[in-house]
Amino acid sequence: MNVIKSISIIGAGNLAHHLGKAFAGRIKIYSVYSRTHAKTQVLAKKLDCFAAEKLEQIIPADLILVCVNDDSINHIISTLPKSQKIAYTSGAVELETLNRQVDVGVLYPLQTFSLDKSVDLSNVPFFIEAGNEELSQSLFNLAGMLSEKVVYANSADRKNLHVAAVFVNNFSNHMVHIADDFLKSKNLEWTYLLPLLSETVEKLEYSSPFDAQTGPGRRGDEKTLNEHSEMLSGIQKKLYQLITKSIQTTYKK
Amino acid sequence: MNVIKSISIIGAGNLAHHLGKAFAGRIKIYSVYSRTHAKTQVLAKKLDCFAAEKLEQIIPADLILVCVNDDSINHIISTLPKSQKIAYTSGAVELETLNRQVDVGVLYPLQTFSLDKSVDLSNVPFFIEAGNEELSQSLFNLAGMLSEKVVYANSADRKNLHVAAVFVNNFSNHMVHIADDFLKSKNLEWTYLLPLLSETVEKLEYSSPFDAQTGPGRRGDEKTLNEHSEMLSGIQKKLYQLITKSIQTTYKK
């Protein structure tokens, strides 16, 4: 098995920053390239490496890590030299849909990253896939430098995890946004609900979401459900009713 | 102002347990009554107080704390002696809908409680309301023994907070349940998503949910949205589409 000792990074967004910083000091980072040179320079400075102005200037390495948006992955990978091993970091893009698949793999960290907030990668699951066993193992070991939870997963599993992640992260966050929006319209602050939100998540560390469910929907408290529904309007009301229906269906099974 | 130095508790559910244990050692607890005597006995033993078999046996105290389900509050309060000060703990029941309102107030902790998990009450917001100023202040100080966040709020505000709490707790939890349910059907484990869930909440401690939103809905990534939608069915598909629509509407404003 080939041990990956050096990388170059394409992309300079949140994920490129977090992975770059995590790998710095563990392996060599040769260069960074992104479409926006100002962003490239910021990241290259952080990682103490070369800031490529053009894609052709990216320095060949044991691996090029492609951290760009889903729509650009195929094009970028097609452009890189055939001799170059590559991994991309997307949950949604299937390996088999790419024009080039030889020496291409996936290293997908299932986490949400913000530029200004550090994340402990050691407990973040990394999902690995590659067309051949050797690259697959190399990527497994590479991810193992950062995380204790590295798992082989094919493109279908990765897509399934990505859908689930949308519910867990994007949709939960939107539920909190609705609470915020609704309370603001009543001159109340949603920050009153932060301890409730923390406890909601803490419970799920030892209880299944099925068992942890509480509230008027699960209890079938029709009086409160109707009152709440009357207090809401527009799409918030529709959401209240549909999610309540889904909760009630869950516990009628 | 009358300082509350003693209480009796009606109810022996999660909230009665948590509040009872929190007050024990700080004020005197005379007695507990609930409809199910076995549960009454468990709590009374924990609190080292009298286990009343009938409501009439509850020992008068500076305050009787009524921790029963919403539908029973009015009846219980009507039954208690006129000379007895009372507080109930519900977010949804309006003071003005009760048959008796004299010397009746509200002490509403905005949190979710499970029997087997201790909760730090010091950061839990308590919302206080009473028909007269004196009881209102007494309840404010009583809650202040447990929490640093005690706030006066009328019944309308309390109801608004309760609706918001349904989104933050019940609906977020249901989003995680759907992720769990979906992944199970694909032979994958939702626990892979726990670090993502923790991070989702950690972000909200310093960022608004509006700013924290990420994902294909916010980005307007139609290809991924369509693919995800195709992977789901039934009410899960409807939820995916309606919540996505709500996210897109939020960022078009």
Q: What is the pLDDT of residues B72-92, one digit of tens each?
A: 999 999 999 999 999 999 998
Query: Is the confidence metric ipTM above 0.95 for this complex?
Result: no
In eight-state DSSP terms, residue B122 is: G
Mean pLDDT of chain A: 95
Q: Which residues of B touch A201 (CB under 8 A)?
A: 197-198, 200-201
DSSP line for B16-50: HHHHHHHHBTTBEEEEEE-SSHHHHHHHHHHHTSE
Nearest to B26 by CA among B76, B71, B63, B79: B63
Query: B35-77: per-residue pLDDT in tens?
Result: 999 999 999 999 999 999 999 999 999 999 999 988 899 999 9
User: Helices B70-79 and A222-231, interaxial angle, to 10°?
Assistant: 110
pLDDT score at B140: 98
Give the per-residue pLDDT at B90. 93
Residue in A with minimal Cα distance to B163? A228
Asked whether the beta carbons of B64 and B10 are under 8 A apart, the reply is: yes
Q: Residue A183 and residue B164: Cβ atoms within 8 Å? A: yes
Whether residue B116 has pLDDT greater than 90:
no
Q: Which helix (H) or strand (E) holds B154?
A: none
Mean pLDDT of the residues in chain B: 95
pLDDT at B50: 98
* pLDDT for A219: 85
The H or E element containing residue B204 is: none
Count CA within 13 A, CB hemisphere, residue A158: 27
Please report which confidence band the pLDDT of residue A247 belongs to, taking 50, 70 and 90 as the band edges. Answer: very high
Q: Do A174 and B246 touch (CB under 8 A)?
A: yes
Question: What's the 3-state SS for chain A?
Answer: CCCCCEEEEECCCHHHHHHHHHHECCEEEEEEECCCHHHHHHHHHHHCCEEECCHHHCCCCCEEEECCCHHHHHHHHHHCCCCCCEEECCCCCCHHHCCCCCCEEEEEECCCCECCECCCHHHCCEEEEECCHHHHHHHHHHHHCCCCCEEECCHHHHHHHHHHHHHHHHHHHHHHHHHHHHHHHCCCCHHHHHHHHHHHHHHCCCCCHHHHCCCHHHHCCHHHHHHHHHHCCHHHHHHHHHHHHHHHHHHHC
What share of chain B has pLDDT > 70, as a percent? Answer: 99
pTM: 0.89
The fraction of chain A above a pLDDT of 70, given in percent, is 99
pLDDT of residue A115: 79
CB pairs under 8 A between A and B: 288
Q: Is the pLDDT of residue B150 over 70?
A: yes
Looking at the complex, report in whole angstroms how far the Cα of residue A183 sits from the nearest Cα belonging to chain B. 7
pLDDT of residue B65: 98
Report pLDDT for B118: 86
Which chain B residues are Cβ-neighbours of A214 within 8 angstroms? 112, 169-170, 173
What's residue B193's pLDDT? 94
| Per-residue pLDDT at B1 exceeds 80 | no
Contact: B190, A196; criterion CB under 8 Å: no
Chain A interface mutation, best of B146, B159, B171, highest count of A Cβ atoms under 10 Å: B171
Q: Would you state the pLDDT for residue A88?
A: 98
Pick from B193, B227, B246: CB nearest A168: B193
